[in-house]
Chains A and B, each alone.
Chain A
């Protein structure tokens, strides 16, 4: 069984050779020459340095289109019209599934029809030279954002192509993104990705790594997200990564969101080794959006407000067109500007809200419980512990499509809109914490005059898109 050990150099080289043979563009990757390319980049494109030295939250959108010229135009317009500090390149879903042939067909169709037939930038198909043209054209750091369980070739090509930040991890890009890949397999894949980032780091090119905090994006209880962030941070650190950005997705209750971000920062510093620079990223609401741009901007504004209070290092913004798939560049820029306006107005205010410390203490206790469960199951080895904890459901993620998680735990909002756990299944949590959640949820059930049931969960999933936070039943007589 695999362990939390640094991948040996000869193994790194062997796997590197193997995966580069998977697609024709792999042949152009050459490590020494790639280091020289990174060394030639100006300070303004060094992702880790720019992120770690910022004193206010930096803003970053999501964006990816199939054609290279269009991707350059898109990023340039998000930088100038949207005021983005950091830029993304979102990878299409075929590449995420290692279906490079289908991505090639989609790219060909995009070139022929002029339409965006892929939902992102197929970086493997564009290859090292295509990536470098993008990096050279844009005067800002750019991150690879995707959702790929086996991202080894994507990492080899994009690192050599000049990208200095790479999203994802063995749990966060497995459990929410695929049903096919086992956890042991994705951990092994990501040991390679992290080791490769570590190899660049040792040569002075600090590749920033960002585990994907929102997970399934649907009412994920903060402590579950935090525990998975800590695990992926630890795994990356073992492989030599020294710049790690831990993520968290907005649930919409301001107190809980601020408390969760504070807990994430604190536990990140505590659990990760001293030589790692830990930063945090806040994702604006990842669930269903209102089908109305004005209302969607309200959701985005609440995210900006939360960020101004919690002060994460980075905010991933949403666009007011989120409800209908990939936004236009104008809408994407609008989401950035809405967020900026709210943060700039709020960040110099001293805003004290009751209840944040108490909620943070609860989230920390829950997170430690989950981490203890993992360490216990692995006899101190976090890889073995993680595999065993997911296997027996001690660690679980709501709405997980993956066969590697039970997906049996279910969340629901309490009467105050905070995300609690309605169905624990086998999640390992101490009894007192379960009682606290139970009491909060039963207060909501009383308010609404109905039993706790899956109906409540489904109502909560739709609530924000329908203009509310909590999925309350329709008042009687309205039907």
Chain B
């Protein structure tokens, strides 16, 4: 499966630091990263996923409007015939939410995995390797076990 990862912050959100670090981390881990940046619409995610034959679409949201921004997102992906793995991560609800409830909400919206804002990039990378059935390279295994 394609190792291209499409990355972006959805909706009207302009929090850029997290995806900047994710871009660096996923690139360093050997993925081809297409970073769409902040304030990315559902359609822009879909267009980029098609254009780059993405294996994964990673959505970031830090400002609390994720639920409204992601309504119908998976319909948009489906109608563009995109079968990429989809993740979402960040502060996904306004206020002090119960994360398990939030996770359930976004699973129901169609995301394969849902991460909170405390997740290390390494955790998402490991999950994506499992989901895309990619083995760590020889050198990386050496680093991990040292």
Contact = CB atoms under 8 A, between A and B. Distances in A.
A93 B12 contact: yes
A260 to B, nearest CB: 21
Interface string A171-184: 00000111110000
Contact of B94 (A105, A116, A176, A216): A116
A324 B117 contact: yes
Given A179-B38, A325-B64, A99 B91 contact: no
Interface residues on A, range: 35 or more
B118 interface: yes
A93 B13 contact: yes
Interface stretch (B15-23, B48-56, B77-85): B15-23
A91 to B, nearest CB: 12
Interface residues on B, range: 20 to 34
Contacts, number: 87
A178 B97 CA distance: 27
A325 B94 contact: yes
Nearest to B36: A179
A458 B21 contact: yes
A62 interface: no
Interface in B50-83: 62-65, 67-68
Interface in A427-469: 454, 458, 461
Nearest to A178: B14
A119 B24 contact: no
A323 interface: yes
A328 B96 contact: yes
Interface string A313-343: 0000000010111111001000000000000
Contacts of B16: 176, 216, 399-401
A325 B91 contact: yes
B64 A179 contact: no
**List of 9 A-B pairs having minimum Cβ-Cβ separation, nearest first:** A401-B16, A97-B12, A401-B38, A325-B91, A119-B64, A93-B12, A177-B14, A326-B95, A116-B94
Interface of B: 11-14, 16-17, 20-21, 24-25, 37-39, 62-65, 67-68, 91, 93-97, 117-118, 146
